[in-house]
Amino acid sequence: MSNWKTHLIVGSIIGSTFFLLAWLFIGWFEISVFTLLASAIIIFVYSLAPDLDHPLGKLTWIFIGFSILILLYGVLLKEDFYLYFGLAFLVFTYICAKYFGHRKFIHSWLAGIIFSLPLFFLGIEFALLGFICFFSHLCVDKIPFKFV
């Protein structure tokens, strides 16, 4: 069975390869600080995203911590947007971990497409990067050995 490190390593290799090939041959991904940072975050999150359905998943706990930080920021600065965003993010993470069984819907290519849809606001190349990293997780889960 694969662990989060294996998913992150494989997702990083596949995601970085897609980034490089799309930049070289298609002209996608202008090289800028924003593009590199956004791509690194997408690779990290989407390589681990299928395990949001696991209560002990690495990304589940990162999202819970991130949600709490955003909630605190919203409370301290009295900013409703951050308060509601942090709360929505926390509820989303809780629902995924609590009510979706492990390796059920969230471990599907359809969930990968749905999770990648918000990335279209950044551009099709970012949405494809997210889906490819999500799908790499599903493929690694089919391999019956631990890489790392």
If pLDDT is split at 50, 70 and 90, which confidence band does 148 have?
low
Residue 39's pLDDT is 97
Amino acid at 8: L
Distance CA 64, CA 70 (A): 10
Distance CA 41, CA 35 (A): 10
Query: Secondary structure of the chain: what % helix, strand, coil (to 5)?
Result: 80, 0, 20
Give Cβ neighbours of residue 34 (< 8 Å, ≥ 6 apart): none
pLDDT single digits (tens) 49-104 = 999 999 889 999 999 999 999 999 999 998 999 999 999 999 999 999 999 878 88
Specify whether the CB–CB gap between 15 and 43 falls below 8 A.
Answer: yes
What is the pTM assigned to this prediction?
Answer: 0.87
Q: Given CA atoms 61, 95, 137, 141 in this order, what sign does their dihedral have?
A: positive
Distance CA 45, CA 26 (A): 24
| CA distances to 57, 63, 65, 75, 77 from 80, in Å | 29, 19, 19, 8, 9
